[in-house]
Amino acid sequence: MQHAAVIIMLLASIAVLGFLVFVSYKLLRNTQAQNSSEKKSGKHYPVHPKLKQQQQRQSEHSQDK
């Protein structure tokens, strides 16, 4: 009886793992499709203000050289 319970638990864990792999693959494909459509449309995502300041400082620093 204990062997049957172990086998059932093993099969259940494999099924859950397979389901999680399927869901993560599906989410990955959706994200990749969304990124691809954003790149095609030319729509840029907003940049955080601190990062924007840092990029401006770097560009000014590189222009000074």
| DSSP codes joined into one string, the chain | -HHHHHHHHHHHHHHHHHHHHHHHHHHHHHHHHHHHHHHHHTPPPPPPHHHHHHHHHHHHHHHH-
The pTM of this model reads 0.56
* CB < 8 Å & 24+ apart, contacts of 57-61: none
Q: What is the pLDDT along the chain (65 residues), one digit of tens a residue?
A: 899 999 999 999 999 999 999 999 999 999 999 988 888 887 677 888 999 899 888 888 877 76
pLDDT at 41: 80
Query: Domain ranges in the chain?
Result: 1-62
Q: What is the pLDDT of residue 65?
A: 60
Residues 6+ apart with CB under 8 A from 47: 55
pLDDT for 1 equals: 84
pLDDT of residue 61: 81
